[in-house]
Every structure is written in C-alpha cells, then in structure tokens.
Structure 1
Amino acid sequence: MGVIEMINPATGERLGELEETSPEAIERAMVHARKAFRRWGNLPLAERLDHINRLRRYIVDHADELAETVVRDTGKVHLEALMTEILLTVDFIKYYEKKAASILKPKKVSTPITLIGRRSWVEYRPMGVVAVISPWNYPFQLAMIPAISALVAGNAVLIKPSEVSPLTGLLIEKVFRKVGFPEDVVQVIHGGKEVGERLIQARPDKIFFTGSVATGKKVMAAAAEHLIPVDLELGGKDPMIVFADADLRRAANAAVWGAFTNAGQTCMAVERLYVESSVYETFVRMVKERTEALRLTEEGADVGSMTFPRQLDIVEAHLADAKEKGAKILCGGRRTGSDGLHFEPTVLTDVDHSMRIMREETFGPVLPIMPFDTEEEAIRLANDTPYGLNSSIWTKNRKKARRVAGRIEAGNVCINDVMINMANPGLPYGGVKWSGIGRYHGPEGLLSFCHRVSVISHPGRKKREINWYPYSERQTDAIRYLIRLLYGKGWNLSLKELLNLAVQFLRRK
C-alpha cells in the first residue's frame, strides 16, 4: 500500500498525502457493497431519486467551493471547473430525475401470432455492484455522471478516482457523506494502477472505465478473465473540418476554444484542424491572432495549467517530432513560469499525417492546421485515424454538412459547433474504433447499467401447446401450414387447409 502525494499542478504547492486503499480494504468494500446493493436495489425508484435530488441540491449550494477544490487539484481555471465539472453534472442529474421513471419502466413488446394468447415485455433490473474507474482531466464530472447513472438504475457503486487527482476523490467521498447516502451504497477507493487491478479482481458486476486507450485495453483484458461487462470511454484525435463557405469568425473562435479549453486535456478536443485551401491562409491568421490573445497565468486567465507532468512530456515529444519533420510553430510551444505545469497554447502549420501530432492523441494545448482541396480529401483525412470519438463540420450549406457528417467515422458529430455533444444529457455519448465501447448519457446510458430481462406471460389454462410432446404427423402438418400461411403465399391455401390449420393450432388436449 503506497502513499499518494497531492500537489497543485498550477503552483507546485503541496496539498498533503493520501494513503492508498489496501487490498484487504478493497475486499471488504466489495462485501459491504453487495449487502448495500440488496437494500438499495430494492428501494422504489422514487426513493432512490429522492437521494439523487438531495445530491443535486448540495452540489448547487456548494458549486463554487466544489469547483475551487477541483481547480487546486487539476490546475484548470475556475470558470472551466464551474462550467464543465459542476454545471454538466447537475444538468445531467436533473435529466434523470425527470426521465428515469419512463426509461426504466417495463416496455411492452409485440407478440407474434405464433405465440397467440401470450403477453411480452422487457424489464430493466440493476446489475449489482458497478466499479467506476475515472480519469484526472475532468475528475468530478467523469466520476459522478457514470456513478449517478448506476445509482439511479439501482446499483451500488465503487469509485476509483485517478491517483493524479486525489483531492477530487476525497471531495466526491465527502459529497456523498454530506447528503446522507445510505451506508456503503457509494464507496471511494483511492490509489493507482495496482488498486485498480485489485478492484477488478474483486469481481464487480460491471466496470465503467474512462481513460487512455492503452489502459482501457488492460482493463478489458482483466475483466474478460471473469466475463465482467465493460464500458470504455477512451481517447480521441478529433478532426475539425472548415469549408470555405463557413462563418470563419465563428469557426476560428470555436477552433481556439476547442483546442485549448482545459489546456487541451479533453478527449473530444480539436486535435486536427483541416481548412479548405482557398481560405486556409486567412483562417490560420485568424486562429493565430485569437491564440496569442489568450491570457495564461494572470488573474482571470483563459487557459490553466496542465495536470499531469507525464502528459506534458508527451506534448513536447509530439512537438519535437513535428518540428523535425518540417512543421512550423506559429505561436506558443514552450513551458511558462518557474512553477507548475503551464504550457503556451500552440498553433502548428506545415503538418502532415507522417507526424505523431496528427496520428496520436496529444492531449495538450496544441492545434495543428492542415489544408485540403476537396470534400473527398477532407473526409479521407478526417477518417485517417484509429480513433473515432468526436468531430465537427463547418459550412453554411446544410445539405453538404449532413452529407459529410454521415461519412465521418465518429460516435459524435457537431455541425457548426464544437465539443458540445456531451453537454446534452439526452444524447448518448461514446466513441467508435479505438475511442471506446458502449454509451452513456441519455436513455442508453441509464439502461447500460441494467440487465434487460425478457418476460412472456401465458394465462396458463391450456393443458398442452402445439409444439410440446408427444409429436405427431398432425403437428407436422400444422406447422407446415403455419409457415406457408404466415411467411409464404398463404392466400393459396384452400379453405379446408385453413380450417385444418386452425383446428390443429388451437386444439387443446
């Protein structure tokens, strides 16, 4: 069992230490969670939502306080913490408060004529104990939203926050305690890689993981040993395509925000920008001007620090590779300040797909810009990646926008907007290809934490069904007639054949 050192990445200030959860404590947490699940899962949905409602009201009442803790933990600016960590979380909770009852109620399913006399429906039942393994870039929101989804569905939850943002892990623990959640329904497990491995070995009933592709593959492999279902929300290398007929001012503002918000540490950030050649020079100039106007370390900064030292090393390695292969840095490209992890917002040109910065997830404040000549070329470049999380298309031509959107290989698409899909709690969110498996948010997100149970009910008054033993030639004839009637040219059957079929099918013995 190790010790996690808590440090403010923006200032280098030491915030304290936190002991990792021991293997024995993880086992105990799982035992307690299973007991808590039996109580929580059996509560009426309305009672579970009462707890969720109290949680939302507490977050709202302490919004600035919670946001400031996240700021100290991650280095992001206060407005971004308030907007992306707090606002998104409470909006999401409100959505499920309104919609959960209709989403989780049993759904009637039509019953075919071959099963005449029966009724069919689907029920949604909680899975048990859900392990939520969350990342450091949005440590409050990306832990709370899947955890709340699982709780609303009736599951108990074990949350393992990232060891890179441990202060927010403690904050989440405090929030659930303050609102009086039932004992052991939500527990927080603290630690790094080994703690995550131990949590999976404790065999939760589902794992929801958000993080890198490399770690996601390891989580999935470990879960496969026990056939544990897994949802993976992984990385991205998201393209932004700007056509010549776009509103260039809006697109330039979007590109700068989409690339540099949260210091570029967003899985659906703009990591590749493709601009139609006829407006390329103009657009690059607009982006450069807006980037150079961003405030960094002074009061009221636009861009905060990066959070994880190792990620800053990756950013610098990608830039070095790009420069070696001919890329040009128009602005930025350096660390700033003597303390902390600040890095200047950086704009690159003369890039191509031989460079790591156009193929691997950079996850930092860097925006590479590349021209294209035709619609087909733009689509080809956008899809030339193993990732497929988000994308954006910029044009005033709605028909073209829809056409291009339909060919982009991504789980989320924006038209004349950027990175906004996740802000709509009613939309399912997730990626394709290396960007993940599964969806959360929306009805799909709630149901992903449920077992779907199919139920068929019969009045029970018949002694025997046509398909039961003992078999006879008469049954064979009846099934043959049924196939011809329902699935072939049934109108060719004679009246005698139809009557014989009816007798055989409805006959009771």
Structure 2
Amino acid sequence: MATAADHLAVLVTHDPATGADTASYPVADGTAVRAAVDIARDAGDWWGSIGWKQRRRYLSALRLTMAREVDTLAGIIRAETGKPLDDAVLEVMLAVEHLDWAARNARRVLRPRRVRVGLLAVNQRAILEYAPLGVVGVIGPWNYPLYTPMGSISHALAAGNAVVFKPSEYTPGVGRWLAEAWAGLLPARPVLQVVIGSGETGAALCEAGVDKIAFTGSTATGRRVMATCARTLTPVVIEAGGKDALIVAADADLDAAAKAAVFGGMGNAGQTCAGVERVLVVDTVFDDFVSRVSALAARLRPGDGEGAHYGPIVLPGQVKIIRSHVEDALGRGARAVVGGVESVRPPFVDPVVLVDVPSDSLAVRAETFGPTLVIDRVADVDEAVRRANDSPFGLAASVFTRDRAYGIEVARRLRTGAASVNSVLGFASVPALPFGGVGDSGFGRVHGADGLREFSRPKAITSTRFASPVDLMTLERSPKAVPTARRLFRLRHARR
C-alpha cells in the first residue's frame, strides 16, 4: 500500500452509531492508483507463473491468518459498520469458506482440458484452457465489507491474477487489514494491494489499465462504473441492488417463513442487497403470517450495545430514503402493522412492517435498504411469481412451501440470479454456487466455478495430428474435396 507521502488528502472514518471520528487514512489519488496497478502488473506476472499448487499454498496461508484473527477482523467490521459482533464473526466465517473453496478448486475448474473436435476437424487435437486476466480491480461495498469483496478477491487470486482492492470509504479498515495480512505472508510480492479513497479513487482504478473491474454497490453507481470502463473497453462484473421477494405458499411452515422474512428483511438493519424487501403471501394464510411476522419484528431492537439485534444505518443519506418510502406508502393508503414514520430515528431505524401497499409505491418499486418489510396478499403462487418478476431488479428470491419439488419449480420461474427454497440467503453459504443478478441487479458472477472463470480468459488451442484426408483449408483444394465433404455433411446432418 502506498505511503502517506504519496497522497494529497486524508480520509476520516466515523462511528456510524455516534458520528465520532474513528480513524484516518491517506487517500490514493490517480497517480498512486496507477502506480499500484503497475506494481500489481509485475507481481501478477510472477503470481500467474508459479502454478496452482503454490498459489493454493499462499491462499491457504491467508485463510489461516483470517481464521486465527477472526476476533480482530470482526472487531474492525463492527467498528466500521456498527453491526453486532456476532454478525461480524459470521461474515468472516463466510469469507473464509469461499476463499478456501476457490483455493482448493481453481486447478480442477481452470486446468487445460481436451474437447471433442467434430467431423470437419477430425485431424485436430483441441485444448481449452483458462489464462489469468492479469490485474483485477475490485471496488467493494460497506454493508458486508469483507464477505462481499472477498468473493471477487478470492476467485481472482485463485485464478492467477493480481488484485487492487478499493474498499468503501466507509469501511477502509477492512481493506487495510487485508493488505497488511498479505504483506505479512509475501512482503516482496504485492499481489494484493489496497487503495483507499472515495468515488474519485474508484474512478481512477477504472481508468488505470486494469484488465477487469468487479464492482458491488448501487445500481446508479454501477452504471457510472460501466460508463467509465466503456471508454477503455475494460470488462466489468456488476453486483448491484435488489428488491428481493419472499413467496409464502398456502402450505408453508408459517413459523419458519415468518422467521426467515424477519431475518432477511431486518438483519444487518435491512442493508442486504439479497435479503428480503417484499413478501408475497397466498390469501388463505395472509392474516396468520402477518400476525407471526408482527410478533417477531416488534421484539427487535436496534442499537450499538450488547443485546441489539442490528446496528445503525451506515449511510446518513439512506435514512432519508427509508423515511420517504414509508411516508409514501402510508400516504397512499398502506397500513403499518409494526412501526411507522416514527421508527426512523437516525442513525437507527426500528422495524417497520407495511401491508396494503399500492403496487406503484416507492416501497414496492425501489430499493429501500432498511429494516422494512412490505407484505402483500396474492390469490395464489402464480400471481406471486408474476408480481415478484414485475421488477427491474433480479438478484435473489425465496419460496416457502412444504412441497420441496414444487418449491424448486417455483424458484426456476423467478427472474433472479439466485433463489432459496424454505430458507433465506441459503445460497450465500454454499461456496460452489455462483452469485449475481439480472436486470438492474447487474451481471457476471462471483463464487463457485463460474466465479473462477469470470476472472479468467478462455483460450482455444488446436494442434494438427495428421494430414486431413479431405483438406478444405487451402485455396488449392482437390476437385473431390468439397463433394466428398458435402456427402459426409449430408450423412451427418441431412438425415432424420
């Protein structure tokens, strides 16, 4: 990481619960960001050359450091986000699991393999292999400042790339810890670097000549990242916002569904892009479900001390958005069965549960990103699917039904990148599964085999095994070559 002498400004972080200053960091300007990318280029050449076994050894050492320092790392996450310590520990555990999977499976997923050549290329041997991209820039979010960016960092490193990571300006301490942990393992090989700053630093990273950008954040910022990267044809992975729905069928276990809805909607103060913002409940169990959710939500208490169920709203501007969504819904005739406008008391927001919310209200159409739930009545699951899909977002969803086979069928019909049956966020804890969205929720994938390939360049190689008996790849073809090829072609493709 660059020194303070290389920078022109200082970033000051604040306790999101109290507003008190907590730490200061030198800001990486454009020159410092470009220097980091240049350093990463040299380090990445070495990293890509050492092979799968050596990379796995170093990544396993990073995993071991993270596991042993879980309390320290969780403490940093808690200090920067205000989330309960137990939630921060869980975040570290999830990040370590995904790092471990990427390190263990990179060779299996990306190693060279032979592929079938087909009739016209029978004299060829064909090989598909995956090469590192080079340098990957990762722009991380603040709500899960370790787990989310590590999805990209782990898989980019395991695939043989160097990484320059720009953490959120609200959570730079997590990024600095990662950089220092890596430097402790490989001080002479800065394969993982961190540059700290706000949007200007992120823009500089997009323009610094990286081979790919992996961004997590709002849809609006994702569009700006894409526009910046388009100027240099730098490819991007975008994991943006969500308006995730939970569907409750008539035969669902209502206790389990209510518990999941409250966890998905209120956990981390609702600041979870793949959590729950809308619940679509079949009419026959609607009132019973609302009663169970209301009882659970009414018991939750935000705060920054022991016993708090979730912490503050990290972005001050988000409080205004949450309040405006609640006010808009109530002004259009919705009912608050838990909380209301008075629940918004910055920097905390008490649980809010709304019913009878008009379908064109902000609370239904836009991402709220707060501890609110909109519960809607539907005639049947088919209507629930239609309404769940009636959104520009498409990140994740959940389905609750006692018929698991039917639940999987419903999950397949949902226009999302991920779905869980009888759980919320079940996919997030499975390292082999890819994660990403469609529509305004972005594109590209992290995690799993698809995540490893996302940070690799597929390369096709053929080698001639013997001279072709029917040589078509010449301008001096035999008079019999094309007629013979046509007969073979018809035998293969023109018969029923």
Q: TM-score, normalised by structure 2?
A: 0.94
Distance in 2 between residues matched to 1:474 and 1:205, nearest whole Å = 48
Aligned 8 A contact 1:212 1:235 in 2? yes
**SS in structure 2 opposite 1:363?**
coil
Distance in 2 between residues matched to 1:379 and 1:438, nearest whole Å = 24
| Aligned structure 1 segments of 4 or more residues deviating by more than 4 angstroms | 334-338, 460-464
Aligned 8 A contact 1:244 1:278 in 2? yes
Aligned: 1:452 with 2:458 = yes
**SS in structure 2 opposite 1:473?**
coil
**SS in structure 2 opposite 1:370?**
strand
Aligned 8 A contact 2:301 2:350 in 1? no
Root-mean-square deviation (CA), in Å?
Answer: 1.9
How do residues 158-177 of structure 1 correspond to structure 2 at under 5 angstroms?
158-177=164-183
Distance in 1 between residues matched to 2:415 and 2:250, nearest whole Å = 22
Aligned 8 A contact 1:121 1:455 in 2? yes
Distance in 2 between residues matched to 1:77 and 1:321, nearest whole Å = 30
How far does residue 376 in structure 1 lie from its aligned partner after superposition?
2.4
Pairs aligned (count): 488
**SS in structure 1 opposite 2:49?**
coil
Indicate which of 94, 98, 102 corresponds to 1:92: 98
- Segments of structure 2 that go 5 or more residues without pairing to the other structure are 1-7
Indicate which of 218, 226, 244 corresponds to 2:232: 226
Moved more, 132-141 or 469-478: 469-478
Distance in 2 between residues matched to 1:204 and 1:463, nearest whole Å = 46
**SS in structure 2 opposite 1:121?**
strand
Could you tell me which residue of structure 2 aligns to residue 488 of structure 1? 494
Indicate which of 316, 320, 331 corresponds to 1:313: 320
Indicate which of 307, 324, 332 corresponds to 1:300: 307
How do residues 56-71 of structure 1 correspond to structure 2 at under 5 angstroms?
56-71=63-78
Could you tell me which residue of structure 2 aligns to residue 471 of structure 1? 477
Aligned: 1:39 with 2:56 = no
Amino acid at match of 1:195: T
Distance in 2 between residues matched to 1:128 and 1:472, nearest whole Å = 45
Q: Residue deviations 1:436-494, cap 9 Å, x none?
A: 1111111111011110001111136679934313134322322322222322249xxxx
Could you tell me which residue of structure 1 aligns to residue 262 of structure 2? 256
How far does residue 140 in structure 1 lie from its aligned partner after superposition?
1.1
Distance in 2 between residues matched to 1:188 and 1:311, nearest whole Å = 26
Distance in 1 between residues matched to 2:466 and 2:402, nearest whole Å = 62
Indicate which of 373, 387, 390 corresponds to 1:381: 387
Indicate which of 368, 375, 392 corresponds to 2:374: 368
Q: TM-score, normalised by structure 1?
A: 0.92
Aligned 8 A contact 2:262 2:296 in 1? yes
Q: Specify the structure having the higher radius of gyration (Cα).
A: 1
Provide closer, same or farther for how the CA distance between residues 447 and 244 of structure 1 changes in structure 2, counting only shifts above 3 A.
same
Amino acid at match of 2:125: R
**SS in structure 1 opposite 2:376?**
strand
Aligned 8 A contact 2:326 2:341 in 1? no
How do residues 422-441 of structure 1 correspond to structure 2 at under 5 angstroms?
422-441=428-447
Amino acid at match of 1:300: G
How do residues 247-286 of structure 1 correspond to structure 2 at under 5 angstroms?
247-286=253-292
Aligned 8 A contact 2:249 2:380 in 1? no
Distance in 1 between residues matched to 2:442 and 2:127, nearest whole Å = 30
Distance in 1 between residues matched to 2:393 and 2:284, nearest whole Å = 28
> Identical aligned pairs, as a percentage?
37
Aligned 8 A contact 1:388 1:434 in 2? yes
Provide closer, same or farther for how the CA distance between residues 275 and 182 of structure 1 changes in structure 2, counting only shifts above 3 A.
farther
Amino acid at match of 1:415: V
